[in-house]
Chain A
Amino acid sequence: MEDRLLVTPAPHMKSTKTVQGLMLDVVIALLPAAIAGTILFGFRSLLVILASVASAVASEAIYQKAVKRPVSINDFSAVITGLLLALTLPPDVPVWIPVIGSAFAIVIAKQVFGGLGYNFVNPALAARAFLIAAWPLHMTRDWLNPMTYEALSSATPLVGFNATGQAGLTLTQMLLGQRPGSIGETCILALLLGGLYLIVRDVIDYRIPLGYLGTLALGTWIFGKPGALFQGGALSGVFLGGAFIGAFFMATDYVTSPVTQRGRLYMGIGAGLITLVIRLWGGYPEGVTYAILFMNLVTPLIDNYVIPRYYGSGHDAKARKAAGGETR
């Protein structure tokens, strides 16, 4: 436990001890949402979470053994990937879905590029997009009603909200997560608790969730009500769907988000805009996955063109120019 005192906030950590500490913080921050999901949707969701984590860790170990690289499952990053993926799945999916999803996340989205630090998309989100394209019916139908654990064949409240601008839920229900949805996305209080913990511990930058949720709330307020402007439900827009878990836990992934403060703000705003557009005018009810994945893709470009001016402005720009960086 002493290792945790060594955690430092800078983005590039070389020592495995600090990586482990950071990752452990993320696992701790995800626990409230995982517990809430288990209470809300029952034993099935715990099974999905365990299968997903086990598959992620096993895939990482097997792949690294096969290519004769040091096995790095102790850094908790595979645990996080498995946990994150499970929290974004409908609770009633067959158990093989998280197993295949986590294996895809670890092998195809992460390890083939050389493992942690070299992947260019968030592995859990890439796996989620893969699963939606592979088994769309499971990924959009296997919902459970909260507390009663009854199967529900209709769509989640977000679908109705996108169409009518009406959430049909009270604020308390939304905060506690008493609505059908993915295992870890519904309980806003649990997510907020975990997210604030990460901000206080300086693990994540508040700019990404602020930019993301702010843009989404503003956009939903302006366009969220069909046939009228400036009458949409801003709060429901960020509380329904996966925006909260995405903004705090997915978009903030170090490896796949910009390194500069301004770049992170752009990342949040961009993801918020794309989420809004897909929700209101797209082919899918929810756009969080694709919005963050798209911003992952443009992260190298953002880093290339956004130059840090806030700390040591003159020096920094000159140094970058000397090093051959772009200065536009």
Chain B
Amino acid sequence: MEVLGIILAGVLINNFVFMQYLGLCPFLGVSKDLNMATGMSGAVIFVITVASTVTAALEQYVLKPLELEYLRTIVYILVIASFVQLVEIFMKKTLPGLYQALGIYLPLITTNCAVLGAAMLNVTKSYGVVLSTLSGFAGAVGWSLAIIIFAGIRERWKLMDIPATLDGFPLALISTGLMSLAFLGFSGLFANLVK
């Protein structure tokens, strides 16, 4: 049941974008096109899931036994940065089309605070390696749900005549606010299962 709670919390109840303010830069930046949003989602789910596993393992088997928890931020960000570098090289070789489309955003996964944020949340909830992986995966799926929903909405804006003063960030932020109003309905869901 704890597993179900973690999945629901990650995807809906404590959604990264709408409830935790994580990963907002790529959420606002890469959501103009549905295909790009889907591609970015794939990359983010992969990176966050693996990064959650690796950081949780480091926490449990290295930082804790050596009492080096105060170096956590440095260790985590270095691990995440090098891992993202690997994904980038891999994607450039195998999926050049997607790599081209995601452009500057792929290196930005390093500074997507959802990756480090997911790892840090796992620490505060003191999940082990398995639950951390699950929690990271669920959170990333929730982030993807948010950006795919938003991209669907934004695709319709292409037909719309938006005044210059609202175009871009102002309207995107107001829309995010309206979307998170809808997600408020999930708060308190299965309160006995969700941490």
Contacts and interface: CB of A to CB of B under 8 A. Distances in A.
Q: Do chains A and B touch in the complex (CB under 8 A)?
A: yes
Interface of A: 67, 108-109, 112-114, 118, 120-121, 126, 129-130, 132-133, 274, 277-278, 281-284, 287, 289-291, 293-294, 296-298, 300-301, 304
Given A133-B181, A289-B185, 17 more contacts: A67-B163, A113-B162, A118-B157, A120-B153, A120-B175, A120-B178, A126-B178, A129-B181, A129-B182, A130-B181, A274-B185, A282-B185, A283-B191, A293-B181, A294-B182, A298-B152, A301-B148
Given A283-B189, A304-B34, A293 B182 contact: yes
Contact of B174 (A108, A118, A132, A277): A108
A291 to B, nearest CB: 7
A296 B190 CA distance: 23
Decide if the interface of chain B is mainly helix, strand, loop or mixed: helix
A112 B174 contact: yes
Given A283-B189, A284-B185, A301 B149 contact: yes
Interface string B170-187: 010011011101111111
Interface in B32-78: 34
14 contacts: A108-B177, A108-B178, A112-B171, A118-B160, A130-B181, A278-B185, A278-B186, A283-B191, A284-B185, A294-B182, A298-B149, A298-B152, A300-B153, A304-B155
A304 B152 contact: yes
Interface of B: 34, 148-149, 152-153, 155-157, 160-163, 166, 171, 174-175, 177-179, 181-191
A131 to B, nearest CB: 10
Contacts of A108: 174, 177-178
A300 B181 contact: no
B188 A283 contact: yes
A113 B159 CA distance: 11
A287 B186 CA distance: 9
Nearest to A294: B182
B178 A121 contact: yes
B164 to A, nearest CB: 11
Contacts, number: 83
Contact of A114 (B148, B162, B187): B162
Given A108-B178, A113-B171, A120-B175, A297 B185 contact: no
B38 to A, nearest CB: 11
Contacts of A133: 181, 184
A284 B160 CA distance: 35
A43 B191 CA distance: 39
A161 B82 CA distance: 55
A297 B171 contact: no
Given A300-B153, A304-B152, A282 B188 contact: yes
A129 B183 CA distance: 10
Contacts of A118: 156-157, 160
Contacts of B191: 283
A121 B176 CA distance: 12
A297 B188 contact: no
A67 B162 CA distance: 11
B58 to A, nearest CB: 35
A284 B186 CA distance: 9
A130 B160 CA distance: 25
A140 to B, nearest CB: 13
Contact of B189 (A278, A289, A294, A298): A278
B163 A283 contact: no
Nearest to B146: A297
Given A67-B163, A112-B174, A281-B189, A129 B184 contact: yes
Contacts of A287: 185
Contact of B160 (A113, A277, A281): A113
B41 to A, nearest CB: 13
Nearest to A118: B160
Contacts of A132: 184
A109 B171 CA distance: 11
A297 B182 contact: yes
Contacts of A112: 166, 171, 174
Between B34, B177, B184, B191, the greatest number of chain A beta carbons within 10 A of the residue's beta carbon is seen for B184
B181 A126 contact: yes
